[in-house]
Structure 1
Amino acid sequence: MKKRFFIAGTDTDAGKTLVTAGLLTAANRQGLKTVGLKPVAAGCEQTPDGLRNADALQLQQAASIKLSYEQINPVAFAPPIAPHIAAEQEGRALTADRLAAYCRGAMMQPADLVLVEGAGGWRVPLNTRESLARLPQLLELDVILVVGMKLGCINHAILTAEAIARDGLRLVGWVANHVDPDMSCPDENLATLERLFRAPLLGRVPWLEEPTADAAADHLDLSALWGE
């Protein structure tokens, strides 16, 4: 059964890319065909082949179906700033419809699992009228939330989950990603989130000194996404 999900984060540094790459790797280990997309990325380096974003490159490497960089990250901005500001500075139109069209093309691949990673948090603007939350609405994607485990994460996570529901989308799973090795009471915070969330916990990624997709995959379980 083909599965398509949007990967959201509680904020910019929640670890969406690490978890997305980890989920792709975990699926690869099960023999599934996978695709990872990063439709819009800010903070790209100029290379002989054009602008390249480290997060998008990580998804390209983790996916089992090898797409061109432009299919994975069709909209790239050099400065590491909010995408709508970068678009305004370059005089480019950034809309959810355009991003959705790019994604639909890549999603035609014969993949068992397609993960579309967002940028920043749930309400990051695309333009004066739309936020990036409009993209999973257009693509009719269920959502996986990456919670950056640090002080304040409970509030960020619950507000994001409420916004996802308000936008008419379904939160089907979440991942606790320990981004702060010195966080106080991590177990208690995790227990509180498990009690408050109805969606299943797909994994608890510990603080990793070397945050690789393989290392993250060791702590992730996709079975709930297939209803197992």
Structure 2
Amino acid sequence: MNLAAKQYFIAGTDTDVGKTLVACGILRAAAARGLKTLAIKPVAAGADLTEQGLRNTDALMLIDAMTESLPYEQVNPVLLAPPIAPHIAAEQAGRRLSVSQLAGFCRGVMMRKVDMVLIEGAGGWRVPLSQREMLSGLVVELQTPVILVVGMKLGCISHALLTAEAIRADGLVLAGWVANQIDPDMACFDENLATLRNFLPAPCLGVLPNLSQPDANLAAEHLDISPLL
């Protein structure tokens, strides 16, 4: 199938809404269909010291979920140690982030002969890379369709609709969205979900239950990736 690889950017309505869990779920669901997959998290802020050096947990999860092998440095080419906004972490480290730099890293992975490539973002849609550029500019540069992860909590409807509007205003396609129940005690969950289904201009790919621990295989069971293929 790799004559026309499917390539998507995984965005979120906010930070800590489950972008990595959804990305890994999609990768596992694709693998179950016999597809070859790769993923890249071009910039990550937050690292743990391991025997192999500094590593980001999200990037390691992507490596575990994708079917093909890549060195860590290709999956996560820009790793910033403190878990803060990337542009601030970069400034503190004396580094400069740019859309063109990150696009080059992404294209290196996107050129591989696989069936699906996922690019995972950081934080929400308008995360700055510097005082001049935002991470959303990377998606515009790459022109990849977007999968939006909605963290289901109070206020998520406005966050989701504003993000969808921004994605479309940037001239990009919202290919689908996933509801992730990050707040197990969210009031009127079903009503909020119904409202999102009504207003978001893209198919809902699945609804993930609240999980005590991230589980890509379980996430895959709650996803329908048919609209992406």
Which of the five TM-score ranges fits, normalised by the shorter chain?
A: over 0.9
Misfit runs of 4+, over 4 Å: none
Separation of aligned partners in 1, 2:54 and 2:212: 28
The structure 2 residue matched to 1:195, chosen from 182, 198, 216, is 198
The structure 2 residue matched to 1:173, chosen from 169, 172, 176, is 176
The structure 2 residue matched to 1:4, chosen from 1, 7, 13, is 7
Identity of matched residues, %: 62
Structure 1 residue 72 corresponds to structure 2 residue 75: yes
Q: How far 1:28 sits from its partner (Å)?
A: 0.4
The range that moved more, 139-148 or 39-48, is 39-48
Give the SS at the match of 1:123. Answer: coil
Q: How far 1:13 sits from its partner (Å)?
A: 1.3
Contact 1:143 1:170 in 2 (8 A): yes
Q: Which runs of 5+ in 2 are unaligned?
A: none
Q: How far 1:50 sits from its partner (Å)?
A: 2.4
Contact 1:51 1:77 in 2 (8 A): no
Q: How far 1:109 sits from its partner (Å)?
A: 1.4
* Aligned counterpart, 1:133: 136
Q: Which runs of 5+ in 1 are unaligned?
A: none
- The TM-score, its normalising length taken from structure 1, stands at 0.97
Q: How far 1:133 sits from its partner (Å)?
A: 0.1
Give the SS at the match of 1:57. Answer: helix
The letter of the residue matching 2:24 is: A
Q: Give the total of aligned pairs.
A: 226
* Aligned counterpart, 2:94: 91
Q: How far 1:211 sits from its partner (Å)?
A: 2.0
Separation of aligned partners in 2, 1:118 and 1:210: 21
- The TM-score, its normalising length taken from structure 2, stands at 0.97
- 1:120-163: per-residue Cα shift (whole Å, max 9, x none)? 00000000111100111111100000000011000100010011
Give the SS at the match of 2:165. Answer: helix
Separation of aligned partners in 2, 1:194 and 1:21: 23
* Aligned counterpart, 1:119: 122
Separation of aligned partners in 1, 2:111 and 2:48: 28
Separation of aligned partners in 2, 1:161 and 1:198: 8
